[in-house]
Chains A and B, each alone.
Chain A
Amino acid sequence: MIVCVAVVGNQNNPVYLQSFTEADDALKLHHIVHCSLDVIDERVNNPKRSGPTLNETFLGLLYPTENYKVYGYLTNTKVKFIMVTTDLDVKDADVRNFFRRFHAAYVDAVSNPFHVPGKKITSKSFAERVSVIVKSFGSTAA
């Protein structure tokens, strides 16, 4: 079950954060997302010196906390997507698929000429698409 998704810009500024649980612990999720930024920076700046991992977009499992798993994805413009989930058995292919669709929705939201790059994404249609993608993630993983 996906708990939250976040989009962080290239200056590590938050661009979008959406939680999908009923509990109102947005602060804790902000904190988790913030910590995962450090992990991403470390992965990007000190890559394992094997060729294919140098330019990969999908960063994989960043770190597991108490009962959450955090996955990361880095786009070409240093925009980072973070996904926090509580599922214990998540298939890699599912997460990649999720990020691919999420990236498509993000590109469409940014292509809006009224969107200022770096500011928060306020488009309602983007929020709807994201919630559709999140819902379908749960069902295909089962």
Chain B
Amino acid sequence: MIGVGKAKQYANVLDKPLSRGRQEVSLSAFAFLFSELVQYNQTQVDNIAELERRLEDAGYAVGARVLELLCHREKGNRRETRLLGILSFIHSTVWKVLFGKVVYLITFCIWKDNLYQKRYVADSLEKGTEHEDEYMISEKELLVNHMGAFNCGAFVAGIVRGVLDSAGFPAVVTAHFVPIEGQQRPRTTILIKFAEEVLRREARLG
């Protein structure tokens, strides 16, 4: 007969057990919340720089909590003590949980003592910057930039800063637009500049 399957048929829809639900939030709900956040901050400030700073502070609070949550959910809970470790944690786990995808490319550029060649990780194709303490996460279509005319990447930069700070790697994180030929939308890049003590500790750990 049609409709007879393995699933138990409930006479009343109220008797069905509640499903656990997918671990996702709808885009429209997030868009609504984020637009309210931006609008509220717009009424409080006079210029763009202040707005970006406030978005970044909001992101910082999210980042600190995301780190706690992810470290608890991950099985075998390792604490990241190395720079590369925490960066790869961000660009895989954090991005996957927050945005549901892996970052398109990640570029490392490490110059120490004028001796070294650039080191590339994953399939990166870009050249990095000249400073030894700067790292970049580059994203083609940052979710928060789909809405709004200006750079809401400051929010994501704040999240990254929150994660790094809570993990013990103080850094300054900013978001920049990088124009690419062949695409009308500029690519968003998150620039991470680590503090002096982090580099010293990393050098000491060898």
Residues of A within 8 A of B (CB): 10, 54-55, 57, 74-79, 103-104, 106-107, 110-111, 113, 117
B68 adjacent to A75 (CB under 8 Å): yes
Contacts of B166 in A (CB 8 A): 10, 77, 117
In the complex, residue of chain A having the shortest beta-carbon distance to the beta carbon of B89: A76
B77 adjacent to A117 (CB under 8 Å): no
Tell me the B63-121 residues at the A interface (CB within 8 Å): 64-65, 67-69, 71-72, 77-81
B168 CB to closest chain A CB (Å) equals 6
Residues of B within 8 A of A (CB): 61, 64-65, 67-69, 71-72, 77-81, 166-168
Question: A57-B79, A76-B167, A77-B166 are known contacts. Are A111 and B69 too (CB-CB below 8 A)?
Answer: yes
List the 6 shortest-distance A-B pairs measured between CB atoms, nearest first.
A76-B71, A55-B78, A77-B166, A55-B79, A107-B72, A57-B77
B64 adjacent to A117 (CB under 8 Å): yes
Give the docked Cα–Cα distance between A74 and B166 (Å). Answer: 14
Q: When the two chains form the complex, which single residue of A76, A78, A79 contacts B77, counting CB atoms closer than 8 Å?
A: A76
Contacts of B69 in A (CB 8 A): 107, 111
Give the docked Cα–Cα distance between A139 and B168 (Å). Answer: 38
Question: A55-B78, A74-B79, A76-B167 are known contacts. Are A113 and B61 too (CB-CB below 8 A)?
Answer: yes
Contacts of A54 in B (CB 8 A): 81
A39 CB to closest chain B CB (Å) equals 18
B113 CB to closest chain A CB (Å) equals 28
Known: A77-B67, A79-B68. 16 other contacts (CB 8 A): A55-B79, A57-B77, A57-B79, A75-B72, A75-B77, A76-B80, A76-B167, A77-B68, A104-B72, A106-B68, A110-B64, A110-B65, A110-B68, A111-B65, A111-B69, A113-B61
Give the docked Cα–Cα distance between A79 and B77 (Å). Answer: 14
Give the docked Cα–Cα distance between A110 and B79 (Å). Answer: 19
B61 adjacent to A76 (CB under 8 Å): no
Q: Which of A57, A76, A107, A117 has the most CB of B within 10 A?
A: A76
Contacts of A77 in B (CB 8 A): 64, 67-68, 71, 166-168
A78 adjacent to B168 (CB under 8 Å): yes
A108 CB to closest chain B CB (Å) equals 9
A76 adjacent to B65 (CB under 8 Å): no
B80 CB to closest chain A CB (Å) equals 7
B71 adjacent to A75 (CB under 8 Å): yes
What are 5 A-B pairs at a CB distance below 8 A?
Answer: A54-B81, A75-B72, A75-B77, A76-B77, A110-B64
Contacts of A110 in B (CB 8 A): 64-65, 68
B67 adjacent to A76 (CB under 8 Å): yes
A76 adjacent to B64 (CB under 8 Å): no
A55 adjacent to B72 (CB under 8 Å): no
B68 adjacent to A76 (CB under 8 Å): yes
Contacts of B80 in A (CB 8 A): 55, 76
Contacts of A107 in B (CB 8 A): 68-69, 72
Give the docked Cα–Cα distance between A117 and B81 (Å). Answer: 21
B107 CB to closest chain A CB (Å) equals 25
Contacts of A104 in B (CB 8 A): 72
Give the docked Cα–Cα distance between A77 and B77 (Å). Answer: 11
B151 CB to closest chain A CB (Å) equals 24
Give the docked Cα–Cα distance between A106 and B78 (Å). Answer: 18
